[in-house]
Chains A and B, each alone.
Chain A
Amino acid sequence: MTGGSWLCLLAPLVGTILITLCGTRIPRVAAAWIATTSVFVAFGGAVWAFLGVHAAQRCNGSNVCIGASSRGEITTAWTWLQSGHFSVGLQLLVDPLSTMMMLIVAGVGGLIVLYSIGYMDGDDEERRYFAYIAFFVFSMLMLVEGGNLLMLLVGWGLVGLSSYLLIGFWHERPSAVQAAKKAFIMNAFGDATMALAFFILIAHTNSLSFVALSGPLSSTQANLIALGLLGGAVAKSAQIPLQTWLPDAMEGPTPVSALIHAATMVTAGVYLIARTHVIFEQARTIELLAAGTGALTLLVAGLIALVQTDIKRVIAYSTMSQIGYMFVGVGVGGYANGMFHLMTHAFFKALLFMTAGLAIHALANEQDIRKMRGLGRVMPFTKWCFLAGALALVGIPPFAGFFSKDPIIASTLNIGWYGYVFYACCIAGAFLTGLYTFRLWFLVFPGEPSPFVREHYHDHHGREGAWTMLVPVGILAVLATVGGWIQFPPHWDPITKWLAPVAPSLPDAVASATQETVTSVVAVVVGLAGIAVAWAVYSERKIAIPAAPSLRRLLEEKFYFDTLYDRIFYAPAAWVATALRREFEEPVVLQTGTDLGNTTLATGGLVRRLQTGLLRTYVFFIAAGAAAVVLAFLIAK
C-alpha cells in the first residue's frame, strides 16, 4: 500500500531524470515512451495503493470504518526539516482521498502523455516536452500524496513551476512566454497566501500535519488559515478573482491544456478544500465564500465562453465553469460530490481537449472555430468522441456529467437562503453549458465542410491521427460515457462511502431523494434547452444572435478583468518604476557614483601637492610630526 504510493510518486520523476540525462543520446521516440511508461507505472502504483486502502477499509464490514488503517497511513522517509520542537518529515499519505486523486492523475495523465506522442511528433524539442510533462505529473502526485501541509505546498509550487515551463513550451512565441509568466505570477500569489496560512498554523499549533488543522484554534485564526488556503485554491483552480491566467494558458501545446485542465493543476484547489475540510468547517463563512466564488465563476465563465472563437478557449472557459461547480460542491460541504465531479470532469474534459487537438492537428494548427464548419464529415471518429464529451459536459444522461453535476446542484438546497442563490446560479450555469458547448458543436462539426476545411484537412495515413492519439481518445470517450455510473445518489454512492473516512460530507449537504430527482429533471431540461437554443441559433439560424454590442463587448473583454488588473496592478507599478527611475535612480543612485568619483579626483589633486618627491620634505614632516606629538604629551602632562 505504501510501496504503491512511493512507486506512484517516484516513477514519473525517474522518467524525467532519465530523459534529461540521456539527452540526445536516445531517439525522440524513446524519450516519449520513457515518459509514457513512467506515468503508466505510476498508475500501476496508484492501483496498488488503491487495493491496499480498499482491503484496509473493509476491516469491519460496515461502511464506517474506525481505526488507523481506514483513515489512511502516513509513511515517513526521513525528517526533512527540524527546528526546535517543530519538525516536518518527508511524508506520504495513503488514504481514500489521496488514492482517488492518484488514480485520476496518473490514469488520465498517462493517457494524455500517450496522446502527446502523436501530437508532438516532429516538434523540435520533443525530449524537453516529455521531460517536463513527466515532471508535471510528478509534481501533481507530490501534491496529492503529500503527508503534511508542507509536502502539499512543495507539490503545489512544483505544479506551478511545471505549468510555467509547459505553457511557455513554445518559447519562441512571445504570447506563450507572456501566458507562462501570467500563470506563474497568479499562482505565486496563491502560494503566498497559503504559506501565510501555514505560518499562522505553525505559530498556534507548532505543526504542519493535517491533524493540526483540527487543533485548538480560535475562530479568527481558523478564518485566517481557511482564507489563506482558499487563496491558494482559487489561484490554482482559476476561480474569480484569480482566473485570468487559465484562458491564456491555452498557448501551450494542446495535450498540456488537457493535462492542466483534466488531470493536474486546476483540480488541485478542489482537492485542497476536501483535504483540509476540517479547517473549512471551523470557518464555515470561508467555506461558503468558496462556494460563492464557485457559483460566481461558473456563471461568468459560462457567459464568456459564449463569445470565444478559439476552440481551446471555449473549452478552457468551460473548465473554469466546471471547477466552479466543484467549488460549490465542496463549499457547501459535499466533498464526495465535488471529488466525484472532479473525476468525471477529468474524463470528459481530457476527451474534449484531445478531440479538439485532433481537429487542430488535422487542420494545420488552426484554432478558429469560424473556419472549421463541417469538420464532422471528414473526421467522424473525432465528431462522435467530441459529442460524447459534450453531452457529458452538459450533463445529459447517461453520460458522466449527469451523475456528478446534479448531486452538487441538489446539495445546495439545505444550507439556507444562500443555498437557493447557489442553486439558481448552478441551474443558469447548466443552461449556459448547454448553450456554449453546442454552439461549439454546431459551428464545428455538422454540415458541409467549409472551404477552409476542404483545403487544409490532411489525414494521417488514412486515419484521423496517429494511433497513439486515437486510442486515448477512444478510452476517454468510453469513460466519459460510463464513468459516471459508479455513483448515483442517493440510491448508490460508493464514492461517498469510499471518501467517508477522510472527508465525510456535512449533513446539510446531503440532498433528499426528492430533491435529487427534481434537480436532475430540472438540470437536464435546462441543459437540453441550452442545446435547443444553440441548435436554433447556430445550426438552423432561426433565431438571430442578439446584437447587444455593449454586452458582447463586455463578454469579449472577459468582464474587463485583465484591463482591471492592468489598471490596478500593472499600471501603478509601471508608473512607480518609471518615477523611481526618473526621480531616484538617475539623480541619486547614478549621480552618487559620478559625484564620488569626481570628489575623489579633486581631493587627490589637492593632496598630490604634498608629494614633492624630495626626501628632505618627508623627513621634515616626520620630524615635525614627532615633535608635535612630544609637545602634545608634554602639554597634556
Chain B
Amino acid sequence: MDGPSVAWYIALAAFLFGIGALGVLIRRNTLVVLLSLELMLNAGNLALIALSRHFHNGAGQIFALTVMAIAASEVCVGLGLVVALNRRNLSLDVDTLSELRG
C-alpha cells in the first residue's frame, strides 16, 4: 500500500469540510458562500475516494463522479442567480436576501 494511511485522507477531508462549513456560516458574500459549498462537496468527494480505495470498492468513485456532476449543475444555478442579482443591482449580501422570512 503506497502513500499515507486512509486516516490522513479522512482528516484532510474533515478539515476541508470544516473550512467550507464555517465559510457558509460566517461569510456574507454570496460568491464566497458558493465557493465554500464547493469546498464542502469536494471534501466529501475526497473522503469517498479515499475510503473507496481503502475498501477496494469502486462504488465510492462512482458516487464521487455523481457528486461532481451535481456540483457542476448546482454551480450553474448558483452562479446564474448571482449574475441575475448583480444585473438587477441587488445586494450580494446573503443576510439582506431574506424575502422568505415567515
Contact = CB atoms under 8 A, between A and B. Distances in A.
Most-contacted residue by chain A among B25, B94, B102 (CB, 10 A): B102
Contacts of A620: 25
A613 B101 contact: yes
26 contacts: A607-B102, A609-B102, A611-B101, A612-B101, A612-B102, A613-B99, A613-B100, A613-B101, A614-B95, A614-B98, A614-B101, A615-B24, A615-B33, A615-B94, A615-B95, A615-B97, A616-B24, A616-B25, A616-B26, A616-B94, A616-B95, A619-B21, A619-B24, A620-B25, A623-B21, A623-B25
B94 to A, nearest CB: 5
Contacts of B98: 612-614
Contacts, number: 36
Most-contacted residue by chain A among B24, B33, B97, B99 (CB, 10 A): B24
A610 interface: yes
Interface in A597-637: 607-616, 619-620, 623
Given A619-B25, A620-B25, A623-B25, A611 B95 contact: no
B76 to A, nearest CB: 19
Nearest to A605: B102
Given A611-B101, A619-B24, 8 more contacts: A611-B100, A613-B98, A614-B95, A614-B101, A615-B94, A615-B97, A616-B26, A616-B95
Contact of B102 (A610, A615, A619, A623): A610
Contacts of B102: 607-613
A496 B1 CA distance: 113
A608 B102 CA distance: 5
Contacts of B99: 613
A611 B102 CA distance: 5
Contacts of A610: 102
B1 to A, nearest CB: 27
Interface of B: 21, 24-26, 33, 94-95, 97-102
Nearest to A626: B21
Interface of A: 607-616, 619-620, 623
User: Chain A at the B interface: mostly helix, strand, loop or mixed?
Assistant: helix
A624 to B, nearest CB: 11
Contacts of B95: 614-616
A620 B26 CA distance: 10
Contacts of A614: 94-95, 98, 101
Nearest to B100: A613
A283 B98 CA distance: 86
Contacts of B21: 619, 623
A615 to B, nearest CB: 5
A309 to B, nearest CB: 77
A414 to B, nearest CB: 93
Contacts of B97: 613, 615
Contacts of B24: 615-616, 619
Contacts of B33: 615
A121 B74 CA distance: 82
Contacts of A615: 24, 33, 94-95, 97
A616 B37 CA distance: 12
A577 to B, nearest CB: 46
**8 pairs of A and B residues whose beta carbons are closest in the complex:** A613-B98, A611-B102, A613-B101, A608-B102, A613-B100, A615-B94, A619-B24, A616-B25
Most-contacted residue by chain B among A607, A609, A614 (CB, 10 A): A614
B34 to A, nearest CB: 11
A611 B25 CA distance: 16
A620 B94 CA distance: 14
Nearest to B26: A616
Nearest to A615: B94
A619 B95 CA distance: 13
B20 to A, nearest CB: 11
A609 B101 CA distance: 8
A620 B101 CA distance: 16
B29 to A, nearest CB: 12
A609 B24 CA distance: 22
Contacts of B94: 614-616
A611 B101 CA distance: 5
A623 B101 CA distance: 20
Nearest to B27: A616
Contacts of A607: 102
A623 to B, nearest CB: 6
B63 to A, nearest CB: 18
B22 to A, nearest CB: 10
Nearest to A611: B102
A611 B100 CA distance: 7
Contacts of A612: 98, 101-102
Contacts of A608: 102
Contacts of A609: 102
A607 B21 CA distance: 26
A610 B100 CA distance: 11
A620 to B, nearest CB: 6
